[in-house]
Amino acid sequence: MLPAFYIFLAMVVIGVILFIHDRITSKPGDTKNEAVEPAVQDACSDDCCGTHDVCPSEMMLKHINDPIEYYDDEELDAFKGRDASDYSDDELEQWRDVLYTLKHDELLAWERSIKKRGIQLPDVIKEELISMHNS
């Protein structure tokens, strides 16, 4: 029983010595023992379409103060305040006429422009935009 007591006592002494050493060598404000969150990498590049959950909201907020840019799509302003599921086939064709004339690198900026203008993308067009963006 006595050898177990000596082993226990040695472990306590070593623990106290390590604790004191750590206190002496650590600097004030040192957070090495705190749980540190890994740096969150940007989940997508500047060409993020903004419609995916993995895209950080900062991507859309980054351009919040940019002026509204039109892409020869002023006629879409007539749809301001419309619900995304409330479009006729003819109206969807108006959207497609604009969408399919855009260059690949204009897709994100066009989507931002639509959102800034208070227009909801029709559900079908949103899916087509995502498809175009991913290809």
Mean pLDDT by 10 residues, the chain (135 residues): 86 91 77 44 44 51 73 91 91 94 90 90 92 83
Residue 62 inside a domain? The answer is: yes
Report yes or no on 43 lying in a domain.
Answer: no
The reported pTM is 0.54
DSSP 3-state of 9? helix
Cβ(50)–Cβ(59) under 8 Å?
yes
The total domain count for the chain is: 1
Number of Cβ within a 10 Å radius of residue 73: 20
24 found inside a domain = no
Are the C-beta atoms of residues 85 and 45 closer than 8 Å to each other?
A: no
DSSP-derived 3-state class of residue 125:
helix
Q: Are 130 and 49 in contact (CB under 8 A)?
A: yes
- Domain assignment present for residue 110? The answer is yes
What is the extent of the structural domain holding 66? Answer: 57-134
The pLDDT of residue 60 is 56
74 secondary structure, DSSP code: G
Whether 45 is covered by a domain: the verdict is no
Look at residue 8 and tell me if it is in a domain.
no
